[in-house]
Structure 1
């Protein structure tokens, strides 16, 4: 293989070609005009052809110099990209999400790490549904917007749709859950201290809201779903978040009715900052997965 010119000399050629002046190139490189001239002369000797026409009013590229310049620019751009990529690989992306989203998000991130082990993600969950990028150092976050109204900033993932869920065995046997009236025979599991979600769904279903009198309360949706999966009651949850559990047979949906609350989940990143290429790729991938959830 032919010996390649030294990288510093090629970099000096690149800077000099942009300025067409030894003095200004030296100022940019923090070396003397004479050092620039000597490096270019040495590079020309090694290549066997002139790169610049030396003229009284400055420099101009020779035909060979013009042919070489775009390829040298491309080579240095590739080096810059390689260095950036290597440094990003060592820095996990920091993602925040509400704990209620983990049943949907965790399997997706596991799939992501299988596809892109070079872009690690560290997930922080919280019972709080928002993020304050002024005081929280996250690259992105999934936030829950609880009230109907104009779409907030960020990429929409999916709308909240409430539906009862239970263990598959509750749909079988003498005490099976086949009608709204059958709910009176089961413990209703609430993902929060209020009865709002059950009350909203039962009202939309035309059922007697008084059926919520027999209930058990939890601090998180995940706990309510875990108890429901064990056959110890019927939970109310977001259809989008339990779809994987239903497909895997851990949970079942006894009724077809899904009630939109007006709330939604959004993927957001800090304002006034440009997401890195790996973060843009992760966000695009999550939005695609959310679209699959909505269509499923």
Structure 2
């Protein structure tokens, strides 16, 4: 017997709007207009002959009917999504995956290792997009993500319950050899004789690093900050141009150190309290290639996988 079903697109819009309790935020997540969201909700309400949302003084809320409907819709959409991905992943055709990853990690670490990655996974075709900070998976998001996040578990447990630690971040101060020769660094306090390159996305790094280095000796001299950059790869390039001392993750600076373009005075190291995490939703772990891809990244980070000359 044929059973008439509500429109799938309207159900998807309802799930996002109910989760966000905002038509404007739902429109942003779905990359449509707020008017389109309103029309889909109206069409679903007309089909059901029920009101799913109501506006109150404090904002948008679900009606009792909407509250009753939402869990079933979420479960059904999740099952459809999982079934679709399992079907797609069962094919032997080249795998196209979208990876969201920071610009610095891409340019300084991943791109030099793409040949090694391709040798391991010849069927893999990555679409690499830039991204930092918190990440939420949804039907139109990237398939996988790598993020630098605080190591405190409670900070990541809720939004990133599928995050797996790849590497704890250790920062090192880097300076051009010519600058070091002109103004030598014989002890940690001598860092303050140079201008420091600031990271704008994590401005607390230099103050925290200096506080850790001066724990026993202390210092009354205020640091002199120079240019500020959003990404590590920019700060690294500025340091290579003699613009001051940059604070860079050690694994991103291996090539510059090996080739002598930069120097880590006194071999100083600072554990930042952050880590690099591999993010993959649960339904994607069911495919062997995705799990193998995580294993590759985990090993590459753990060993600081070298680039072939």
TM-score by length of 1: 0.61
Aligned counterparts, 1:196-207, within 5 A: 196-206=204-214
- The DSSP-based 3-state class of the residue aligned with 1:162 is strand
In structure 1, the partner of 2:122 is 117
Aligned length: 210
Q: CA deviation at 1:189?
A: 0.3
Task: State how far apart, in whole Å, the 1-side matches of 2:260 and 2:102 are.
Answer: 24
C-alpha RMSD of matched pairs (Å): 3.0
Give the unaligned 5+ runs of structure 1.
Answer: 1-79
Aligned partner of residue 247 in structure 2, secondary structure: strand
* Partner in structure 2 of residue 176 of structure 1: 184
Question: Is the Cα–Cα contact under 8 Å of residues 201 and 231 in structure 2 kept in the other structure?
Answer: no
Q: 1:270 to 1:195 in 2, by over 3 A?
A: closer
8 Å Cα contact 1:157-1:287 kept in structure 2: yes
- Distance verdict in 2 for CA 1:209–1:282, change over 3 Å: farther
User: What are the within-5 Å matches in structure 2 for residues 1-296 of structure 1?
Assistant: 84-85=91-92, 87=93, 89=94, 91-102=95-106, 103-126=108-131, 128-134=132-138, 136-146=140-150, 148-149=152-153, 152=157, 153-171=162-180, 173-192=181-200, 195-206=203-214, 208=219, 210-293=221-304
CA shift for structure 1 position 243: 2.6
Offset of residue 106 of structure 1: 2.6
How far apart, in 2, do the equivalents of 1:194 and 1:124 lie? 21
- The C-alpha deviation readout for 1:170-207, integer Å capped at 9, x for no partner, is 34x33233433433332210121664111111111115
1:95 Cα deviation after fit: 0.8
1:154 Cα deviation (Å)?
2.5
- Going from structure 1 to structure 2, the CA distance change for 1:105 and 1:209 (only over 3 Å counts) comes to farther
* Structure 2: runs of 5+ lacking an equivalent: 1-86
Larger Rg: 1
Indicate if the aligned counterparts of 1:170 and 1:177 stay in contact, CA closer than 8 A.
no
Q: After TM superposition, what 4+ stretches of structure 1 lie above 6 angstroms from structure 2?
A: none
Alpha-carbon distance in structure 2 between the residues aligned to 1:181 and 1:97 = 35
Classify 1:109/1:276 alpha carbon distance in 2 versus 1 (closer, same or farther; 3 Å).
Answer: farther
